[in-house]
Amino acid sequence: WEAANYPAFSGARIGSFFQERPVLKNPFLEDALLRGYLRRHLPQEAARSDLCAFGERVANEVDRWGRECELTPPQLIHFDPWGNRVDHIVTSPAWKRMKDLSAQEGLVAIGYERPFGEWSRVYQMSKLYIFSPSSGLFTCPLAMTDGAAKVLQSIGVSWPVDEAYSRLTTRRPEWFWTSGQWMTERQGGSDVASGTETVAVPQSDGSYKLHGFKWFTSATDADMTLTLARVQDRTGATTPGSRGLSLFYAEVSRDEGGRLRGIEVQRLKDKLGTRQMPTAELLLDGLPAHRLSDEGRGVASIANMLTITRIHNSISAAAAMRRVVQLARDYASRRTAFGKLLKDHPLHMQTLARMEVQTRGAFLLVMDVCRLLGREESGMATQFDRYLLRLLTPVVKLYTGKQAVAVVSEGLESFGGQGYIEDTGLPGLLRDAQVLSIWEGTTNVLSLDVLRCVARSSGMVLHAFFTHAKSLLAGASSVSSLGPAVTAVDRALSELETFVQVAAKREASYLELAARDLAYSLACIYTGALLIDHACWKGASQSDAYAALRWCEQDLCPVVSKQARGCYDPSAPPLDSALCDL
């Protein structure tokens, strides 16, 4: 009787409605801002057609591999069946395909081939931006590989690193190497100077053997690494602190018995996200290495790597936001609630529009840093550009890392309950976003880096910032619709200038407390200026102007509003501590 009355819900029948899934379309063609930005700055057809073809490949082929990487996480095999120690990190076939693809597509090589002169980094990073959310986190080893190539290039491409440089920057898959970046030890990832215990024992041939324990090493299937250690003198003593750290190059190789030379893989980390990629703890037990820096210049010498990996991190952050917005937009045209499609609910569209504004801001900020990097590398940079690059690199990394978590989290909600379901692939986006503000320097540590670079340049980096931000507003005088945005950025700039003058006379602890808000202010103001500048371009759309207006409605200078509330006064730290029961 029941089956006859409810035929749609009986036995194997579970109802006839099945929600259409969001569809990933060509991420290049779907991204109006990316295409507009490139039309404006890099109009060469060769770049456009390569990015378009790559976007097609990402949507139709690579995205599946990325999912495969997530579903087939790496495993560590300590022993072979006969009890021999082998320490094999087994990765998925898809992860290996990503490596070959990365070489073929020139995802590192482009930065060194420089096919478009000063715009080559923008081209390379545009490609990585399209690739990143589908890459199964292969963008992580690519970031470190690019960073290592940059360090080797800056130190000089000669023995013992000439072959490594050629391998890191090749397009030939069989020749391509990836690099690790082993800086973090158990005692410290931020405070590398106090945390590094690894010692380098000099050998008679001028090389070294490293002994120590590296607590986090990502993409540990790498072929080589750059790492820090303290050189031991004849008595076995080392110099403490940053002045005792030197930079080393080591290859990851195996002996005739198949054992890793001088390395034991202790275990793989069990991580919230980035599960596609192995992150290992390593015992360095006599790892053969070559010193690349002068003794005691390790941190300064690896700084080039930090610059590159922090820019890659920011690209991945902007790309994660863009991906979730693209999927949410597609879903809004497929999902019906309360009798109409989500796209016809104004409140839902307001939510998506806010995500879009954040994404656009992040994109323009990181692309501007890529522009500056390209200028520096092609010999076009002024001293001004170099100051801006130094200042904006930590700023873009710390700001976009936070934006990514917020936007991707909001993005998941736009799929309702489905956003929380593992095999949609959506939750992984959020898990992977969470790391972006932790590795390569946490938000606070990078905020303090901003303060240090301001102090070390005697304020010149801020002078470059103010001058350039103001120049970005120049074209807006004739575009009346942008008036409120220009006024907001102008006001924020003067408030920030006043803050800097006043704060410079305050004690160091005052500035330290203001560091994070100062970094956020720099990011918000500069991004506002970039959005305005882009909206004034002759090819800009109405949406470009609208995005600028919306961005500039937020508090662009939180360091001033928080200062007014006494957040940095000497009375604040004890109250903060008491509030946290510490």
Chain residues binding ligand UCC by CB under 6 A are 139-140, 143-144, 181, 183-184, 189-190, 192-193, 218, 242, 299-300, 303, 306-307, 309, 312-313, 316, 439-441, 445, 449, 452
CA distance 300 to 15: 64
Shortest distance, position 433 Cβ to ligand UCC, whole Å: 10
The neighbouring-strand residues paired with 249 are 226, 290
Distance set, CA 197 to CA 209, 212, 215, 240, 285 (Å): 14, 6, 11, 9, 13
Torsion angle (degrees, nearest 10) of CA 385, 386, 388, 390: 160
Where on the chain is the footprint of ligand FAD (CB under 6 A)? 181-184, 188-191, 216-218, 271, 274, 279, 435, 438-439, 441-442, 444-445, 448
Half-sphere exposure of 72 (CA within 13 A, CB side): 14
Other beta carbons less than 10 A from residue 506's beta carbon: 14
Shortest distance, position 465 Cβ to ligand UCC, whole Å: 16
Shortest distance, position 192 Cβ to ligand UCC, whole Å: 4
Burial class (CB in 10 A: 0-12, 13-18, 19+), 428: buried
CA distance 260 to 96: 20
Which of ligand UCC, ligand FAD, none lies near 306, with the C-beta cut-off 5 to 8 A by kind? ligand UCC
Helix, strand or coil for residue 99? helix
Q: Which is nearer to ligand FAD, 262 or 441 (CB)?
A: 441
Query: What's the token pair of residue 13?
Result: 């029948």
- Specify the DSSP class assigned to residue 442: -
Q: Which is nearer to ligand UCC, 409 or 444 (CB)?
A: 444
Q: Which is nearer to ligand FAD, 448 or 454 (CB)?
A: 448
Which of ligand UCC, ligand FAD, none lies near 279, with the C-beta cut-off 5 to 8 A by kind? ligand FAD
Q: Which is nearer to ligand UCC, 211 or 312 (CB)?
A: 312
Q: Which is nearer to ligand FAD, 306 or 476 (CB)?
A: 306
Q: Which is nearer to ligand FAD, 282 or 545 (CB)?
A: 282
Considering Cα of 401, then 405, then 410, then 412, what sign does the dihedral take? positive
- Specify the DSSP class assigned to residue 381: -
Which of ligand FAD, ligand UCC, none lies near 139, with the C-beta cut-off 5 to 8 A by kind? ligand UCC
Shortest distance, position 65 Cβ to ligand FAD, whole Å: 21
Which of ligand FAD, ligand UCC, none lies near 563, with the C-beta cut-off 5 to 8 A by kind? none
Shortest distance, position 251 Cβ to ligand UCC, whole Å: 19
Q: Which is nearer to ligand UCC, 217 or 414 (CB)?
A: 217
Which of ligand UCC, ligand FAD, none lies near 217, with the C-beta cut-off 5 to 8 A by kind? ligand FAD
- Specify the DSSP class assigned to residue 58: I
Q: Which is nearer to ligand UCC, 306 or 372 (CB)?
A: 306
CA distance 431 to 280: 18
Which of ligand FAD, ligand UCC, none lies near 503, with the C-beta cut-off 5 to 8 A by kind? none
φ, ψ of residue 377 in degrees (nearest 5): -75, -25
Q: Which is nearer to ligand FAD, 190 or 378 (CB)?
A: 190
Considering Cα of 95, then 101, then 106, then 107, what sign does the dihedral take? negative
CA distance 535 to 531: 6
Residue sitting closest to ligand FAD (CB): 189
Q: Which is nearer to ligand FAD, 310 or 534 (CB)?
A: 310
Please report, as a single letter, which amino acid is at residue 472.
L
Residues 178 and 145: beta-carbon distance below 8 Å: yes
Shortest distance, position 195 Cβ to ligand FAD, whole Å: 7
- Specify the DSSP class assigned to residue 416: G
Shortest distance, position 440 Cβ to ligand UCC, whole Å: 5
Shortest distance, position 277 Cβ to ligand FAD, whole Å: 8
Taking alpha carbons only, the member of 434, 436, 430 closest to residue 327 is 430
Q: Which is nearer to ligand FAD, 134 or 443 (CB)?
A: 443
Which of ligand FAD, ligand UCC, none lies near 91, with the C-beta cut-off 5 to 8 A by kind? none
Taking alpha carbons only, the member of 527, 398, 554 closest to residue 33 is 527
Shortest distance, position 519 Cβ to ligand FAD, whole Å: 12
**Gyration radius of the chain over CA positions:** 25
Shortest distance, position 576 Cβ to ligand FAD, whole Å: 12
Q: How is 256-303 classified by DSSP, letter by letter?
A: TTS-BTTEEEEEE---SS-TTS-EEEEEEEEEEEEE-SPTT-HHHHHH
Which of ligand UCC, ligand FAD, none lies near 405, with the C-beta cut-off 5 to 8 A by kind? none
Shortest distance, position 57 Cβ to ligand FAD, whole Å: 27
- Specify the DSSP class assigned to residue 157: S
